[in-house]
Amino acid sequence: MRFLRLELDHHLPIAETLARFQADPCLLLLDSAARHRERDARYSVLTADPVALHRLDHASYSSSPFSPLRIWQQHLAELAPDAPADLPPFAGGIAGLMSYELGEAFERLPRPTQADFQTPALLAGLFDWAIVWDHLAGTVTAWVLDLPSAVSRPLSATDRLNWIRQRLAQPPVPSDVAPTAAAVTSPFHPSGFRHQIDPTTAVYSDFSRDEYVATVARVIEYIRAGDIFQANLSQRLSAPWDGTAIELYQRVRQRNPAPFCGLLQHEDVAIVSASPERFLKVNRHGHVETRPIKGTRRRQASPIADLFVGNELAGSEKDRAENVMIVDLLRNDLSRACQAGSVRVTGLCELERFETVLHLVSTVVGQLRPDRDVWHLMAGCFPGGSITGAPKIRAMQIIAELERSIRGAYCGSLFACGPLGDFDSSILIRTFTLRDGWVQFPVGGGIVADSDPLDEYRETLHKASGMIRVLR
Question: Beta-carbon neighbour count of residue 33 at 10 Å?
Answer: 22
- Number of folded domains that form the chain: 1
CB 290 within 8 A of CB 279: yes
Residue 22 to residue 151: CA distance in whole angstroms: 25
Residue 142 to residue 135: CA distance in whole angstroms: 14
Q: What is the pLDDT of residue 33?
A: 82
Whole domain around residue 333: which residue ranges? 3-471
CB 401 within 8 A of CB 188: no
At 304, the amino acid letter reads: I
CB 215 within 8 A of CB 402: yes
SS (H, E, C) 345-376: EEEEEEEEECCCEEEEEEEEEEEECCCCCHHH
423-426 and 43-47 strand pairing: unpaired
Q: Any residues with CB less than 8 A from the CB of 348 and at least 6 apart, and which? A: 323, 324, 327, 362, 363
| Cα dihedral value 151, 157, 163, 166, nearest 10 | 170
What is the CATH number for 110? 3.60.120.10
Query: Annotated active-site positions, please?
Result: 277, 294
Q: One digit per residue, pLDDT tens: the chain, 472 residues?
A: 689 999 999 999 998 999 999 999 999 999 998 765 556 678 999 999 999 999 988 655 554 555 667 888 887 877 767 778 789 999 999 999 999 999 888 877 777 667 777 889 999 999 999 999 999 999 999 999 988 765 677 789 999 999 999 999 987 766 554 444 444 444 456 655 578 888 888 899 999 999 999 999 999 999 999 999 999 999 999 999 999 999 999 999 988 888 999 999 999 889 999 999 999 999 999 999 999 999 989 889 999 999 999 999 999 998 999 999 999 999 999 999 999 999 999 999 999 988 788 999 999 999 999 999 999 999 999 999 999 999 999 999 999 999 998 999 999 999 999 999 999 999 999 999 999 899 999 999 999 999 999 999 998 998 898 899 999 8
Q: Any residues with CB less than 8 A from the CB of 77 and at least 6 apart, and which? A: none
Q: What is the pLDDT of residue 36?
A: 52
CB 165 within 8 A of CB 6: yes
Helix/strand/coil for 191:
coil
Q: What is the pLDDT of residue 117?
A: 77
